[in-house]
Amino acid sequence: GIQVEQSPPDLILQEGANSTLRCNFSDSVNNLQWFHQNPWGQLINLFYIPSGTKQNGRLSATTVATERYSLLYISSSQTTDSGVYFCAFDDSGYALNFGKGTSLLVTP
Partner 1 sequence: DAGITQSPRHKVTETGTPVTLRCHQTENHRYMYWYRQDPGHGLRLIHYSYGVKDTDKGEVSDGYSVSRSKTEDFLLTLESATSSQTSVYFCAARGPDTEAFFGQGTRLTVV
Q: Which residues contact partner 1 (rule: CB under 8 A)?
A: 30-31, 33, 35, 41-45, 48, 50, 86, 88, 94-101
Sign of the Cα torsion 39, 103, 106, 76 reads: negative
Q: Taking a C-beta distance cutoff of 8 angstroms, is the pair 33, 47 a contact?
A: yes
Distance CA(55)–CA(73), nearest Å, equals 9
Q: How far is CA 58 from the centre of its chain?
A: 14
Nearest distance, CB of residue 60 and partner 1, angstroms: 16
CB closer to partner 1, 83 vs 101:
101
- State in angstroms the smallest separation of the CB of 100 from partner 1: 4
In the complex, least distance from residue 92 CB atom to partner 1, rounded to whole angstroms: 12
